[in-house]
Structure 1
């Protein structure tokens, strides 16, 4: 049956309902005319007969409309129910995901993401992000492993077990829930690389911020602008090159050796953990529970990334922050202010000019500074119309046609001499954030006051994940710093 044929019954129902509603409206109009013509007097015999006929038809038509509406509600309800159920013939959870073929894992995972049972709480950008990860097969990302974990953790038995874990001190599992938990633990073990934290329970994939957190869902501008990779090992390994140098030659002249210099940047991941206290009611409706859990897990994680992707220090078990990494570079060297403690228009022009042209013209190029530094640059518009046109615009500020968000983990406007990093400009695709797929939580049943050791009436989750970051193309950025003398 074609889609057009499928749509015909719905189309006919809509026409019948519309016709009934139009007739109800016409009857009301006709009765209003009869009443108006009577002018408050009693109706004559003909008018009374017409009134009675209209009244009888009105009751019939109103019952007809109610029947149409009730039928439509039942049909819509059944469609919603059907869209959240899988028949035995197409149940993606019917088999152990460890034994499925790669193609079956992909097809079933996609079906879960698209279903309202699995993905109803997800935004479109989050669905797109999960689907992208599922399709990825590289040395760093095994989408098939993520798909197996998705099928195991989104299984209704594991979801119900996870809800019990998240809200109960002594959960009692059904045999099906116990098998689902064991299945997830075995898949987690297969995904382990190196020495990771053990124990805890895997967060279901479709509420896991290491997988579903996207630029639209983050207030962290570095994460939003940068290149983000979801990986299934402990270290992202890539290749980088400045490109091949081309040249013109005379006829029959030998070519130059234009072999590019190939770099092999690596971005290791580090454990990020957080404690999430809560005193909320956890409902048993999965979409509502999933949305609450997703928000709670993502908020603190996103804020931690906003800090460490700015100022994180390499070698300190945290991601290498963008500003920290650029400040440590000698090639390209930092650009100092013309006058210590004073940001002037020539400094901004000079910084922009030092950025290679191919990076200035890219859509992923942006500026970044603290609010205090941005306010100083805004005031340059009183003497320089370029700043007036760009950075004083409403919505997201722009400078020289490029986005300029604020990041208050960066240094404020300095006073006097120093070496503070003040302003970054560059192509943010040269900074990579590697998130290892999979967050784990442990339930803490009771929190105690730190002063008197008495229960506070709160519970909590201890959550951990692995994430790393680093500059993979230093030449794509330029950093303005204060003058030291």
Structure 2
């Protein structure tokens, strides 16, 4: 991403450019970024240089203005321009300078660097962190976004990707300082590596924890589940099966309602991948993008199985693993039929039905399509084709190739229904890339290849009883 070298006397140059709103300024930045491509800087003294600085300044000031208005809106009775002494200043963690700086970093990234889904994922993480009173999680998230989202950190790590042994000698002062800020944060959160060239945190634009989103993956569970980004190694939340309300006459003691608040932890587990390329290929200018794409594809396929069938030991607990053998399991006949499916849908508690979806392997989905379509049958199919998913009795039917496919096998787990926000995926923000300069063969001699070891942490589990599992009966 091109950038400009800030000049102390540039304010007079950029005042000639005017923008109607933040969208126009962002469009200007996108146009200049596309024009200069991979260039590190826009030449100083050019009109494009001043246009970039003017647009970037406009976006920064607009974001600061938005934060000011948000703080003002959160203080009832206060008016802009009038001192407000009736209420204390809003000192919530979300109003901190660190939070505002992190939001500006996110806004500066182009759409091709950070998708809308990734932005929403980070914003949701901040919303959750700001609900915690001490502000520690907000500060950790903000520091992570700020240090790994710095453009100088991205260019510094790009030089390491292309030349891990000597790339640091090409760093500018800004790149060196950005890399050291990220290193200090990495040490503070206890993420270490042992490679010959050391391990470094994934830049924001290359981080699987951010790039693995529900609209960029073929992983069906991640598409539907609740996803949280955390800075620790375990997610903690509070859930319950709900409580009861009552109609009570005046001056009469209320009816007791006992509710059990649960704190189901969702631990994260280490996932890693090993990528090898020839020395010649590793010298490509876009090797960092290629390594990122390969790592994302590997993690996607790994997670697809784990979120469905994972044992919970050194890997996430899959949704089938969590439901199999629980009170949520429902058995149909030895040969599941139309009546079994109808009864199964109706077994889901009413509170979970508004957002409920079905999930099954394609083979069983095709079997469902045939229900009611046999010779001499006047019944219609249970499945109606639709977009983006077909409908099973009015609810979305999502394909998951990891589930059991043959309903004639006793005990086969062929169909899940429920509100998938009750399956939680926890992604730790601290993904790491580590470089190995020489890969050796079985005889201990170099192969003429280099390797990248990428690792991070993720976890998953059912956190509330909002599902049912249909399994084939034994007789």
Which TM-score applies when normalising by structure 1? 0.71
2:168 matches 1:173: yes
- Cα gap change, 1:394 to 1:456, in 2 (>3 Å): farther
Structure 2 unmatched runs, 5+? 1-14, 25-45, 65-93
2:204 matches 1:208: no
Structure 1 unmatched runs, 5+? 12-73, 93-100
Asked if structure 2 preserves the Cα contact closer than 8 Å seen for 1:238 and 1:264, the reply is yes
Where 1:352 maps in the other structure, the secondary structure is: helix
Asked if structure 2 preserves the Cα contact closer than 8 Å seen for 1:236 and 1:434, the reply is yes
The superposition leaves residues 411-444 of structure 1 with CA deviations (integer Å, 9 ceiling, x where unpaired) of 111434x222111000111111111111001113
Where 1:350 maps in the other structure, the secondary structure is: helix
2:473 to 477, 480, 483: 483
Q: Quick one: distance in 2 between partners of 1:270 and 1:123?
A: 26
Asked if structure 2 preserves the Cα contact closer than 8 Å seen for 1:210 and 1:439, the reply is yes
Asked if structure 1 preserves the Cα contact closer than 8 Å seen for 2:106 and 2:119, the reply is yes
Partner of 1:306: 304
1:461 to 441, 448, 452: 452
Asked if structure 2 preserves the Cα contact closer than 8 Å seen for 1:310 and 1:321, the reply is yes
Where 1:372 maps in the other structure, the secondary structure is: helix
Q: Quick one: distance in 2 between partners of 1:387 and 1:144?
A: 57
Asked if structure 2 preserves the Cα contact closer than 8 Å seen for 1:268 and 1:468, the reply is yes
Where 1:443 maps in the other structure, the secondary structure is: strand
Where 1:388 maps in the other structure, the secondary structure is: coil
Q: Quick one: distance in 2 between partners of 1:366 and 1:217?
A: 20
Which TM-score applies when normalising by structure 2? 0.73
Q: Quick one: distance in 1 between partners of 2:20 and 2:232?
A: 47
Where 1:129 maps in the other structure, the secondary structure is: helix
Partner of 1:44: none
2:350 matches 1:357: yes
The superposition leaves residues 190-242 of structure 1 with CA deviations (integer Å, 9 ceiling, x where unpaired) of 2239xx76651100123212124221112111111111111111211111112
Q: Quick one: distance in 2 between partners of 1:86 and 1:178?
A: 27
Asked if structure 1 preserves the Cα contact closer than 8 Å seen for 2:236 and 2:264, the reply is yes
2:130 matches 1:137: yes
- Cα gap change, 1:242 to 1:80, in 2 (>3 Å): same
Partner of 1:221: 220
- Cα gap change, 1:5 to 1:197, in 2 (>3 Å): closer
**How far is the alpha carbon of 1:298 from its aligned partner?**
1.7
- Cα gap change, 1:82 to 1:209, in 2 (>3 Å): farther
Q: CA RMSD in A?
A: 3.8
Partner of 1:58: none
2:364 matches 1:373: yes
Once the two structures are superposed, the pairs formed by residues 326-475 of structure 1 within 5 Å of their partners are: 326-329=323-326, 331-332=327-328, 334-338=329-333, 340=334, 342-362=335-355, 365-382=356-373, 388=381, 390-393=383-386, 395-416=388-409, 418-448=410-440, 458-474=449-465
2:114 matches 1:122: yes
Partner of 2:38: none
Q: Quick one: distance in 2 between partners of 1:359 and 1:88?
A: 43
Asked if structure 1 preserves the Cα contact closer than 8 Å seen for 2:271 and 2:457, the reply is yes
Partner of 2:321: 324
Where 1:142 maps in the other structure, the secondary structure is: helix
Partner of 1:158: 153
Q: Quick one: distance in 1 between partners of 2:340 and 2:380?
A: 13
1:192 to 185, 190, 193: 190
**How far is the alpha carbon of 1:159 from its aligned partner?**
2.1
Partner of 1:111: 104
Mean CA deviation greater in 247-256 or 262-271 = 247-256
Q: Quick one: distance in 2 between partners of 1:283 and 1:399?
A: 49
Q: Quick one: distance in 2 between partners of 1:394 and 1:212?
A: 25
Where 1:459 maps in the other structure, the secondary structure is: strand
Asked if structure 1 preserves the Cα contact closer than 8 Å seen for 2:332 and 2:470, the reply is yes
Where 1:215 maps in the other structure, the secondary structure is: coil
Asked if structure 2 preserves the Cα contact closer than 8 Å seen for 1:322 and 1:471, the reply is yes
The superposition leaves residues 101-148 of structure 1 with CA deviations (integer Å, 9 ceiling, x where unpaired) of 9833222222222225x6652222222323333453355982322221
**How far is the alpha carbon of 1:453 from its aligned partner?**
6.5
Partner of 1:36: none
Q: Quick one: distance in 2 between partners of 1:398 and 1:453?
A: 57
Asked if structure 2 preserves the Cα contact closer than 8 Å seen for 1:119 and 1:206, the reply is no
Where 1:438 maps in the other structure, the secondary structure is: coil
**How far is the alpha carbon of 1:158 from its aligned partner?**
2.5
Q: Quick one: distance in 2 between partners of 1:326 and 1:412?
A: 17
Partner of 2:268: 269
Asked if structure 1 preserves the Cα contact closer than 8 Å seen for 2:193 and 2:434, the reply is no
2:78 matches 1:79: no
The superposition leaves residues 28-63 of structure 1 with CA deviations (integer Å, 9 ceiling, x where unpaired) of xxxxxxxxxxxxxxxxxxxxxxxxxxxxxxxxxxxx
Aligned length: 396
